[in-house]
Amino acid sequence: MSAAAMTDSVPLLTVDDLVLDFRTRSGTVHVLDGISLTLERGEILGIVGESGSGKSVLAYAMMGLLDPAARVPRGGIRFAGRNMLTESERALAETRGREIAMIFQSPRTALNPIRRVGTQVQDVLLRHANVSKKEARTRAIEALARVRIPDPERRFDAYPFELSGGLCQRVMIAMAMACNPYLLIADEPTTGLDVTTQAVVMDLIRDQVRSANASVVLITHDLALAGEYCDRIAVIHAGHIVEIGSTEAMLDSPKHPYTARLIGATPGGHESIDDLASIPGSLPDLRRDLPPCRFIDRCDRKLDRCAVDPLPAVAIGADHLVRCWNPL
Amino acid sequence: MSAIMEAVRLVKRYPTGGGMLHAVDEVDLAIQPGESVGLVGESGCGKSTLVRLLGRLIEPTDGAIVFEGQDIAPVPLRRFVHDTARGRIQVVFQDPTESLNPTLTVFETVADPIRRLGTAGDRNALAAQVRKAIALVGLPPEMETRLPHQLSGGQRARVGIARAIALRPSLLILDEPTSALDVSVQAVILRLLADLRSELGMSYLFVSHDLNVVRLLCSRIVVMYLGKVVEEGPTEALFRDPRHPYTRALLASIPNPARRGQTPWRLEGSASSPIDPSPTVCRFYGRCPRQEDACAKTMPALRAVGSDGVHRAACHFAEETSA
Amino acid sequence: MIRFLRIAGKRLLGAVPSLIGVIIVTFLLSHALPGDPAVLFAGPAADAASVAQVRAHLGLDHSLPQQFLTYVWQLAHGDLGQSLTTGQPVMTDLLQRLPASLELTLVALIFAIGVAVPLGIWAATRPNSWIDHLCRGTVTVAAAFPTFFIALLLVYVFYFLIPLAPEPVGRLNDVYFDAPTTITGFYLIDSILEGNWQTFGGALAQIILPAISLGLFALAPIARITRAAMLQSLASDHVRTARACGLSRRRILITYALRNAMLPVVNVLGMVFSFVLGSNVLIEDVYGWPGVGAYAVKAVISSDYAAVQGFILMMAVLYILLNLVVDLLSMVVDPRVKFEG
Amino acid sequence: MSDTSLISRTRYALSENPMTLLAAILFALLIFCAVFGPLMAPYSPLLTNEGARMHPPSWLHLFGTDALGRDIFSRVLIATRLDLGMAISAVVISFVIGTALGAMAGYWGGWVDAIFGRVMDTIMAFPLFVLAMGIVAALGNNVTNIIIATAVINLPFYGRFARAEVNVRRDLAYVEAARMGGNGAVRILWGHIVRNILPVMLVQASLNMGWAILNAAGLSFIGLGVRPPTPEWGIMVSEGASYIFSGEWWTFVFPGGALVIAVFCFNLLGDGLRDIVDPRRRT
């Protein structure tokens, strides 16, 4: 991370040179490699990548919710003074829901199908807010009202299957924000929702965290969506953060060939189909021994050293970092 | 110029416990030869039902489907399956994984429609046709013997397209063909589709929830809401000057980095019930930012709003251009 | 609650077609099949005249639909015909013996559920551990033992070889104990109600081996489905959400995982009931249990048609009722069922 | 399913669950006994021997002798063919009929499905063993009727399974694509749907075999179907039961044990096949 990105205070979240593998029957999968980033208070960071790039695993690692098959040979994640990878499950459970919260894609299945949605919000409050049952109920209804669920007293008693996908996602946001966490991790929160609902949900997430001065990590495959809502964007490719910087810098003058290709392949902003760029090849097989740069097979700017030298971290301007030997 | 496919007052209703579900309600839609028409709308608006009606996978409740000059709606599905028109309307399905039979190789998958409906005489002629289709979608010949689970998402999408174009249809209906794909793959498939259309001279009905995709591929867009067409018009006109409030909301919801920090008017809530909707109330009533008495009294008809006569909208206030 | 009752009523009505089907099948089993019941009823020594007499007496000279109507008419009056072996009305015989079979069935079910559900949960919380493999192995082996064989083995080992269990002479050894006064017909409950702990102990000792014999086979399906459902539940999206919300391990395990996992478990109970009810036939004789199963076996061997038919009908009705209970139970567990209903 | 993946999955399933290998060996042994049992038996199964009544197991009579002096080992061995034969015939009948009817009901729905559902519901409304008992009692006491009864009570098992599997596939995109490609109903049902569910159905059949064996043996045990002196495991257990209080355990333990092994083998085999064919359903 460039020194300029550091402020005087300690960042809310620091991921430092994180390496993460999955042990599977068909070999070790090198899911994440050398991930470093920081997140300040009140900031919205987008992590953008194709499926299989490791962006969701990174989100789960931040929550300390890793699969037992995951191994972390190097690096760490510090959130609000805690090491999220080494703390006990009990301590992490205290933190989750209170200081760090998460929302998921497909909100209908993310909620318990046979428990009233209000009760699920209430469960979180009872666990973390040290309140009576009655008080928790009142506060749960308030939380539902804050996410603009119409008629929250009545909806408190609804089951997830009685609500639309958009409303379920609002309930999830209400649950996540019930205890005013410092950080909200949103893992593809609008996948599967209609575009109009997506806009409503994203507005809601943004407004909620802004008013609580919380931070967001938005995991998404949609660069345009990240562009509209995030302050900064990190582009992840095959377990590497290839470029990270302010949204303007990333979209206006991308430095990594992959970022540029990604922007070129996003349908919005093109006048004709002929302008639509493609990205050749696909993600490398993460079970193999990988070259230092994992984009090398898809890159038209590769140099000889790309296959040999470890990835550089080139700072461009104050808050823009690219990991490429031959940036644009 | 006569349309290659024209739906006339097409209706599909389903009986449900609570009444009749009006999935597609008196929809008129014409596709000209060589034209590429985009169909957009939120989930549950009836666009999938319309695709299945036009693709002749389900029987319409009422209305006509005129394809290449003949009304094919009265032909029962059981018989239509063996009709020559069957091969001339093909559909590319949404999920490339689900749309391939897991036990059939790429070759068998593409050969199936040719065997059933094609004219290929002997084995060699069939193989030649299959290889041609596989080559057209840009799959290397060695993929022929692969099974779906041995292919990547993009390759599966290509197989689905190869199967659909194997019979050289005149109308290809694409039901969200790229929604399950990553952007990088999506871009490739979209370009392939554009190339195939000009190469084979097909007409497209392209269904998508992504307006940006539709914009790139289609010259005309049809917007559906709760079983009805609420607006249709040339792509540029519709993007520049949407006349129906729903279309406006749809356009305003497209993620756009240029709008960062702004909160335009959002379409909240969900559509009213499609079960026995009132025939005299605008379907958008209740969700519309400007609902007036007229909207609750008469259902607005789809009518021309521009001088060109092709841009049409179903709103009482469609003449008021948006700011 | 009103919604619950309304749907319960609906389910009750939904059982009517099954009931009609059951009545038709039992009727067909005796009337429309090869072989002449009149010959059977009249006995091997009867001449043509007495067969004809029996035929007329049984109404077998009427047309099939007419016979069916007579049959339904008699059923409606609780008339299942006369048993040839006991000479009593079949209904009386069955009602007399039913409590014994029901008591045994229920104890067997409680045993099976009580062992299998915790076992399944235990295995699911430690998947692929040695505990898991042990559980899986044990229930697989248990499921391979025919009920009648396990019954014999248990008697041989725990009565003949190591005399731990009492002599298998039915519900209570009347040499030492007096039967409790009939209140529910279940000895275990009646003896408690009477406060007669000695009798309770005696009845309990008698029922343990047959109940285990009956319940053992049911262990496998219940334990397996519990394990599978629990594993699925623990891996589900909503449990992930609960973990992301930092809920306590206990709350996640019980409120979020277990309650959801109970749905499929409740659903297999129907199948398990079917098995346990049917198996009474196989083991009652071994334990000298005076239930309907042993009665039915005797009836089958002596071609006592009315008795067999009555038994089948009664079991089917019982089973339909039990399934209704399962249905209502799953409604309590899953709110979604209510809305679909 | 490609050959390589089938082999690798088989290897995986075997390494994951070595019991499947044991099951396969037991299965081979059972089939061997069923085919060659009569040739290998040291004594005639019906040969009574006044001088050798109730002999405990010895080298002369591996499993001892029964009250009539018949060699229990020979009887158990020879019974394999009958017991497996009854179960396999019953399973084949219910598999074929159940799958066909269920698939049609699931595909066409409507009144075909309604009638199918009613018939299955009626069968399922009985405790199944009780129904089997009733059927054999009514149809007559012989082996064929045991097979018919066992087939009837297993019918809903396949029928409902096939119906459900076909029902979820009937509107899948690849089936609709097949319709687009000019396939008629029969071709779609057989070529595109049933062929895909056949492996899973076969797993169900092998899981069901154990149950069919138990059912047939249970019927003989209570005196239905097979009659003495025919060697059959259920009937032999039933005959041996009389000597339980005189301690002649071998009379019922060996035929009972044979039943246990057969049922155990098929249950394990079904589990193993399921792991190979359909790993998701593993329980």
- Cα separation, B212 vs B35, whole angstroms: 18
D83, D262 in Cβ contact below 8 A? Answer: yes
Tell me whether strands B312-313 and B228-234 are parallel, antiparallel or unpaired: antiparallel
- Cα separation, A245 vs A249, whole angstroms: 6
Q: Which residue of D has its CA nearest to C132?
A: D283
Smallest CA–CA separation between D215 and chain C, in Å?
Answer: 9
CA dist list (Å): C157 to B14, C145, C164, C218, D245: 65, 15, 9, 21, 11
CB contact under 8 A, D174 and B117: no
A304, A225 in Cβ contact below 8 A? Answer: no
Which of C333, C295, C289, C334 shows the shortest CA–CA distance to C311? C295
CA atoms within 13 A on the CB side of C163: 4
- Cα separation, B136 vs B165, whole angstroms: 9
D49 close contact with B: CB closer than 8 A: no
Chain A neighbors of C245, CB-CB under 8 A? 96-97, 101, 123-124, 127, 175-176
What's the first-to-final CA gap in chain A, in angstroms?
20
Burial of A41 (0-12, 13-18, 19+ CB in 10 A): middle
A44, A216 in Cβ contact below 8 A? Answer: yes
What is the pLDDT, as a whole number, of residue B18?
81
pLDDT (tens digit, 9 = 90+) per residue, B172-199? Answer: 999 999 888 888 899 999 999 999 999 9
Query: How large is the average pLDDT for residues B239-243?
Result: 92
Which residue's structure tokens are 């062992």? C115
| ipTM, two decimals | 0.86
CB contact under 8 A, D1 and B78: no
* DSSP secondary structure string for all residues of B82-98: TSHHHHHEEEE-S-TTT
Q: How many CB atoms lie within 10 A of CB C249?
A: 11
- Cα separation, A302 vs D104, whole angstroms: 59
pLDDT at A85 over 70: yes
Query: How large is the average pLDDT for residues B148-154?
Result: 90
pLDDT at C106 over 60: yes
Q: How many CB atoms lie within 10 A of CB B279?
A: 10
Buried b (16+ CB within 10 A) or exposed e, B32-70: beebbbbbbbbebbbbbbbbbbbbbbbebbebbbbbbee
What is the pLDDT, as a whole number, of residue B121?
75
Chains that touch B (3 or more CB pairs under 8 A): A, D
Burial of B211 (0-12, 13-18, 19+ CB in 10 A): buried
CA atoms within 13 A on the CB side of D198: 12
What is the pLDDT, as a whole number, of residue C323?
85
Smallest CA–CA separation between A207 and chain B, in Å?
Answer: 10
Both structure tokens of C252: 């996640």
Q: Which band of pLDDT confidence, cut at 50, 70 and 90, is reported for residue B321?
A: low
Q: Which band of pLDDT confidence, cut at 50, 70 and 90, is reported for residue C62?
A: confident
Mutual angle of helices C187-194 and C197-234, in 10-degree steps: 120
- Cα separation, D84 vs D35, whole angstroms: 10
CB contact under 8 A, A175 and C248: no
In one-letter notation, the amino acid at residue D95 is F
B143, B131 in Cβ contact below 8 A? Answer: no
- Cα separation, C203 vs C104, whole angstroms: 11
pLDDT at B36 over 90: yes
> Domains in chain C, ordered, with CATH?
2-76 (no CATH), 98-333 (1.10.3720.10)
Which residue's structure tokens are 């092709």? B310
pLDDT averaged over chain B?
91
What is the pLDDT, as a whole number, of residue A167?
93
Which of B42, B184, B267 has its CB closest to that of A265?
A: B184
Q: Which band of pLDDT confidence, cut at 50, 70 and 90, is reported for residue B267?
A: confident
pLDDT at C124 over 80: yes
Q: Which band of pLDDT confidence, cut at 50, 70 and 90, is reported for residue C40?
A: low
pLDDT (tens digit, 9 = 90+) per residue, B5-32? Answer: 999 999 999 998 888 999 999 999 999 9
C26 close contact with D: CB closer than 8 A: yes
Chain B neighbors of D177, CB-CB under 8 A? 91, 93, 99-101, 160, 163
What is the pLDDT, as a whole number, of residue C339?
59
> Domains in chain B, ordered, with CATH?
5-218 (3.40.50.300), 243-320 (no CATH)
- Cα separation, D23 vs D239, whole angstroms: 29
What is the pLDDT, as a whole number, of residue D153?
93
Give me the residues paired with residue A30 across strands: A21
In one-letter notation, the amino acid at residue B307 is S
Residues composing chain D:
283
Q: How many CB atoms lie within 10 A of CB C241?
A: 26
D182, B82 in Cβ contact below 8 A? Answer: yes
CB contact under 8 A, C319 and D126: yes
Q: How many CB atoms lie within 10 A of CB A301?
A: 14
C173, C166 in Cβ contact below 8 A? Answer: yes
CB contact under 8 A, B260 and A279: no
**What is the Cα Rg of chain A in Å?**
20
> Which segments in chain D show pLDDT lower than 50?
1-3, 283
- Cα separation, C241 vs A172, whole angstroms: 9
Give me the residues paired with residue B275 across strands: B21
- Cα separation, B251 vs B314, whole angstroms: 17
Which of B154, B210, B268 has its CB closest to that of A267?
A: B210
Query: How large is the average pLDDT for residues A257-267?
Result: 92
Write out the residues of chain A at the interface with chain B, using a CB-CB cutoff of 8 A: 50-51, 148, 150, 164, 166-167, 194-200, 202-203, 207, 221-225, 227-229, 247, 251, 261-262, 264-270, 272-274, 276-279, 282
pLDDT averaged over chain C?
86
Chain B neighbors of D174, CB-CB under 8 A? 93, 98-102
- Cα separation, D219 vs D232, whole angstroms: 11
**DSSP code at position D243:** G
Tell me whether strands A240-246 and A232-237 are parallel, antiparallel or unpaired: antiparallel
- Cα separation, B56 vs A259, whole angstroms: 43
Kind and range of the H or E element at C2? helix C2-31
B312, B305 in Cβ contact below 8 A? Answer: yes
Q: Which band of pLDDT confidence, cut at 50, 70 and 90, is reported for residue C83?
A: confident
Long-range contacts of A313-319 (CB under 8 A, 24+ apart): A313/A1, A313/A2, A314/A255, A315/A2, A315/A4, A316/A245, A316/A249, A316/A255, A317/A245, A317/A249, A318/A2, A318/A4, A318/A5, A319/A2, A319/A4, A319/A5, A319/A232, A319/A245, A319/A246, A319/A249
Query: How large is the average pLDDT for residues C235-259?
Result: 93
Query: How large is the average pLDDT for residues B228-246?
Result: 93
In one-letter notation, the amino acid at residue A287 is R
pLDDT at C309 over 90: no
CB contact under 8 A, C238 and A172: no
Which residue's structure tokens are 């299942």? C80
- With helix as H, strand as E and coil as C, how does B243-294 read? CCHHHHHHHHHCCCHHHCCCCCCCCCCCCCCCECCCCCCCCCCCCCCCCCHH
Q: How many CB atoms lie within 10 A of CB A247?
A: 21
D167 close contact with B: CB closer than 8 A: no
B313, B282 in Cβ contact below 8 A? Answer: no
C282, C151 in Cβ contact below 8 A? Answer: yes
Which of D66, D156, D171 shows the shortest CA–CA distance to D109? D171
pLDDT at C93 over 90: yes
C251 close contact with A: CB closer than 8 A: yes
Task: Tell the CATH superfamily of the A1-99+185-196+206-269+276-292 domain.
Answer: P-loop containing nucleotide triphosphate hydrolases (3.40.50.300)
Percent of residues, chain B, with pLDDT higher than 90: 68
- Cα separation, B54 vs B49, whole angstroms: 9
CB contact under 8 A, D195 and B103: yes
- What is the helix, strand, coil percentage profile of chain D, to 5? 80, 0, 20
Q: Where are the domains of chain A?
A: 1-99+185-196+206-269+276-292, 107-180
Q: Which band of pLDDT confidence, cut at 50, 70 and 90, is reported for residue A275?
A: confident
pLDDT (tens digit, 9 = 90+) per residue, C151-200? Answer: 999 999 999 888 888 888 888 888 888 888 888 889 899 999 988 888 99
D249 close contact with C: CB closer than 8 A: yes
A101, A181 in Cβ contact below 8 A? Answer: yes
CA dist list (Å): D280 to C265, C268, D200, D274, D277: 18, 19, 11, 9, 9
- pTM for the whole thing? 0.88
Residue C148 backbone phi and psi in degrees, to 5: -70, -30
Q: Which residue of D has its CA nearest to B146?
A: D2
Residue C314 backbone phi and psi in degrees, to 5: -65, -45
pLDDT at A264 over 60: yes
Residue D261 backbone phi and psi in degrees, to 5: -65, -45
